[in-house]
Structure 1
Amino acid sequence: MKGEFEMKMMGELIIFLRLQIMQLDHGTFIHQEKYTKNILKKFKMNEAKVMSTPMHPSNVISSNSEGKSVNEKEYRDMIGSLLYFISSRPNIVFFCKIVC
């Protein structure tokens, strides 16, 4: 690539496209801890109950059968945030489908 483009080292890569990069002796790891905390804070879910994935089959996620009204714009924002998040976390796609 150096033959085609001008390149220079600008230091260790820490964040790229909202993905945090950790370069350790035994490998390079990508995570979204900061993004996750920011969206939880944005939607006031800092204290939400944590569920491990994959979930045990006995856990049940129910739909909003009462038809309670929600803020449509906020709901769309939440879905958009989840869609971006699952692009790097295919293990939670199924659960996002259920809650969306």
Structure 2
Amino acid sequence: MSSIGELTFFLGLQVKQKEDGIFISQDKYVTEILKKFGFTDVKTASTPMETQKLLLKDEDGEEVDVHLYRSMIGSLMYITSSRPDIMFEVCAYARYQVNPKVSHLYAVKRIFRYLKGQPKLGLWYLKDSLFDLVAYTDSDYAGANLDRKSTTRGCQFLGSRLISWQCKKQTVVANSTTEAEYVAA
């Protein structure tokens, strides 16, 4: 066993250790995938998802290259290990990997445009923080337009440190917002 010094890079995660805490990010990887998919000279987006426009199955839409779509989703999935701000959107768009249409590809491209404008976001873990475990969970009601299932989102904090986050479509169809929230809990 040997010591190779202070941890600065691990499995694609950049680790910056400071006196008051640790910052984990993936801005080098974000730069790589922006170059890979041709998003270096695009207009940025302020949010990773359009808030007023729902993404639908789009049966009549024009099909796109499945391999390109899956490659983009896979790259974005890897980024969610340090970017909980795009977790919901990536999971929502991953549902269309079987038969992606132009509208789905445009929605995924919006995430890349968002990353272009916010490449250096990450997780900040304060050194001196409380040690209380706090969990938050929320659920929409019938948010998946295709099967009317709800999506549960949650995060867990140890003091002020975000230690876990998730986004998952529920396995049952809820009959009310109360039931969707109960299943989420």
Off by >6 Å, runs of 4+ in structure 1: none
Alpha-carbon distance, 1:35 to partner: 0.4
Q: How far apart, CA to CA, are the structure 1 residues paired with 2:35 and 2:54?
A: 24
Deviations 1:5-55 (A, max 9, x none): xx3321121110000011122211100000001011101111233233587
Structure 2 distance, partners of 1:16, 1:61, is 38
Which whole-Å CA distance do the structure 1 matches of 2:39 and 2:52 have between them? 20
Given that 1:20 and 1:30 are in contact with CA atoms closer than 8 Å, whether structure 2 keeps it comes out as: yes
Give the corresponding residue for 1:8: 2
C-alpha change, 1:40 and 1:19, in structure 2 (3 Å) is: same
Normalising by structure 1, we get a TM-score of 0.72
SS class of match (1:84): helix
Equivalents in 2 of 1:10, 1:71: separation in Å?
43
State the TM-score, normalized to the length of structure 2: 0.42
Unaligned residue ranges in structure 1 (runs of 5+): 1-6
Instruction: Name the one with the larger strand percent.
Output: 2
* 2:60 is the alignment partner of 1:91: no
User: Within 5 A, what are the aligned runs for 1:1-100?
Assistant: 7-53=1-47, 59-61=51-53, 63=55, 65=58, 67-100=61-94
Identity of aligned residues (%): 45
CA distance in 1: counterparts of 2:43 and 2:53, whole angstroms: 13
Task: Check whether the contact 1:14–1:20 (CA below 8 A) recurs between aligned residues.
Answer: yes
Moved more, 27-36 or 68-77: 68-77
Q: Alignment length, in residue pairs?
A: 92
Structure 2: runs of 5+ lacking an equivalent: 95-185
Q: Are 1:53 and 1:91, in contact at CA under 8 Å, matched by a contact in 2?
A: no
